[in-house]
Amino acid sequence: MTSSPAVDVVVVGAGLSGLSAARNLVALGHSVHVFEANDRVGGRTLNHKLDGANVDLGGTFVGPTQDRILALAQETACAHHPTNTVGESALSWRGRVRRYSGTVPSLGVGSLVDIGRLQFKIDRLANALPQGAPWDGKNAAELDSHTLASWLAAQHASQSSKDLFAIVAKTSWGCEPAEISMLYVLDYIRGCGGIDRMLATKGGAQQEHFPDGTQTISMSMAERLGESISLGSAVRRVEWSDGGVAVSAGSRTVTAKAVIVAVPPAMRSRIDFYPVLPVEHRSLGQRWPQGVLTKVYASYERPFWRDNGLNGQTLSDAGPIFATFDTSPSADGPGILLGFIGADYARSYDRLPPHERRLRALSSFATVFGDDAMHPTAFVDQRWAGEDWIGGGPTAAVPPGALTRYGSWLARPVGPIYWAGTETADRWAGYMDGAVRAGERAARECLVTVENRD
């Protein structure tokens, strides 16, 4: 690397995180090249036209304190509007459908007391964790030795509480409570600002969504980067030294002063680094799996459930769909229902042929919204676990023992190699906001390397 590098920084991955990093570097006058394995930008955001309406097959919602994605949306002129909350929510539980208002489902008093007790305890434990260093928290080792399931069992949680937290695990991390570290759960909740902020629609992370589709934000950033992005270019080799990097995708190699790797941690292992990365980085790559999440949308002439006083939001203890939202563009336009299928439900659903998937998903909708739900004008599903270069969604579902041992390596630079991706954010990790934060942080960090050589 004695000759002058081709660009200042190579970015691996053109999701929200990688593009945010690239955009910020360009704004500071640095040159970049972005390699993207897929033939599109946006990563875990993906626009889709469903019978004329825009739906988000990936990241969808934004809410208060998600300042970085909101700022970026404003700068890229992507409007957002409130998720529908007019009407009552529905709870499909133990074979019966009940209605409720607000975020607290209509369970019996005993169940609600138990859930309140656990939420109080979880919020307290989460708030006590030091931001960006949960491994330094009180009882971190013990909390990281538990799965969410074993921790709930140790707290003598009621069956209803266990089932409700299972829905949270499926939606938030694409895993069952048996798969995920309790310390990771707490740190994630801390990063959201508490359970209510994480789970609520009004006042929480589902408060608004983007009528033009969230991928549009990435497309807008990509447009300005123009020729600096290579699609269909999976990076498989990064040669590095203190003097710079040579990043190869297929037969093309681009030299730079630094590289920002903005892919899910589990996908880092697919890149060969020469020399090899420190052992902690390689061990981490074996211990940071992506969750299993599938999203489905059905469109109808109108949001007919609203006539019946329902807001389209559901929680269910029976699969395949265990949570729904109404993402209709307006009250008189087409009605759009969004359903989440996660973890074990998704593992069996994902294997089915298309017509069976459709039937099972619509039957789930019909349980709550009636037989009209069986006859949509259009239907689509997106199985994130099957995405070859993403490895699963919505984010990592980290098992016990990994966060305390490898968490501090997750975003730690190695020579001229920097790390982005929503998993590396210390606020709103796993969300679009975390992706932007992580990209911006990596861009700032790599200036040390980039500007030292100017």
- Based on the shown chain and the rule CB under 8 A, indicate whether residue 335 belongs to the binding site for its own copies: no
User: Residue 256 or residue 266: which is nearer to its own copies going by CB?
Assistant: 266
The least CB distance from residue 276 to its own copies, in Å, is 5
Q: Do residues 298 and 338 touch, judged by C-beta distance below 8 A?
A: no
- Based on the shown chain and the rule CB under 8 A, indicate whether residue 385 belongs to the binding site for its own copies: yes
User: Residue 20 or residue 290: which is nearer to its own copies going by CB?
Assistant: 290
Does 17 count as an annotated binding residue? yes
Using CB under 8 A, which residues numbered 217 to 236 contact its own copies? 236
Residues that bind its own copies (rule: CB under 8 A) add up to a total of 47
Does 423 count as an annotated binding residue? yes
- Based on the shown chain and the rule CB under 8 A, indicate whether residue 441 belongs to the binding site for its own copies: no
Interface characters, 136-155, with its own copies (x: CB under 8 A) = -----x--xxxx-xxx-xx-
Contact window for its own copies (CB under 8 A) among 22-30, 94-102, 287-295, 304-312: 287-295
What's the rounded Cα separation, in Å, for the pair 145 and 158?
A: 21
Backbone φ, ψ for residue 210 (5° rounding): -105, 110
User: Residue 334 or residue 399: which is nearer to its own copies going by CB?
Assistant: 399
Using CB under 8 A, which residues numbered 348 to 367 contact its own copies? 350
Does 218 count as an annotated binding residue? no
What's the rounded Cα separation, in Å, for the pair 424 and 406?
A: 12
Beta-carbon contacts of residue 210 (< 8 Å; ≥ 6 apart): 56, 60, 62, 73, 78, 79, 80, 216, 217
Does 443 count as an annotated binding residue? no
- Based on the shown chain and the rule CB under 8 A, indicate whether residue 58 belongs to the binding site for its own copies: no
Phi-psi group of 243: left, alpha or beta (phi > 0 → left; psi -120 to 50 → alpha; rest → beta) = alpha
State the pairing for strand pair 235-241/244-249: antiparallel
User: Residue 289 or residue 376: which is nearer to its own copies going by CB?
Assistant: 289
- Based on the shown chain and the rule CB under 8 A, indicate whether residue 107 belongs to the binding site for its own copies: no
Q: Do residues 302 and 308 touch, judged by C-beta distance below 8 A?
A: no
Classify the C-alpha dihedral 393-383-164-84 as positive or negative: positive
Going through 141-233 in order, the beta strands assigned E by DSSP cover 208-209, 229-230
Sole binder of its own copies in the list 83, 290, 327, 424 (CB under 8 A): 290
Using CB under 8 A, which residues numbered 112 to 141 contact its own copies? 141
Token pair 């995920």: residue: 180
- DSSP characters over 371-391: GGGG--SEEEEEEGGG-TTT-
What's the rounded Cα separation, in Å, for the pair 180 and 182?
A: 6
- Based on the shown chain and the rule CB under 8 A, indicate whether residue 250 belongs to the binding site for its own copies: no
Backbone φ, ψ for residue 220 (5° rounding): -65, -45
Token pair 């930008």: residue: 41
User: Residue 132 or residue 278: which is nearer to its own copies going by CB?
Assistant: 278
Sole binder of its own copies in the list 51, 67, 239, 344 (CB under 8 A): 344
User: Residue 182 or residue 368: which is nearer to its own copies going by CB?
Assistant: 182
Beta-carbon contacts of residue 79 (< 8 Å; ≥ 6 apart): 73, 210, 211, 212
- Based on the shown chain and the rule CB under 8 A, indicate whether residue 179 belongs to the binding site for its own copies: yes
Sole binder of its own copies in the list 136, 223, 301, 388 (CB under 8 A): 388
Cis peptide before 413 (omega within 30 of 0): no
Token pair 């009605």: residue: 335
Does 37 count as an annotated binding residue? yes
- Based on the shown chain and the rule CB under 8 A, indicate whether residue 36 belongs to the binding site for its own copies: no
The least CB distance from residue 401 to its own copies, in Å, is 3
User: What residues form the annotated binding site for substrate?
Assistant: 340
User: What residues form the annotated binding site?
Assistant: 17, 36-37, 235, 340, 423
Which residues of this protein are in contact with its own copies, per CB under 8 A?
141, 144-147, 149-151, 153-154, 175-180, 236, 266, 269-270, 272, 276, 279-280, 282-283, 286-290, 292, 344, 347, 350, 383, 385-386, 388, 391-392, 399-402, 404-405
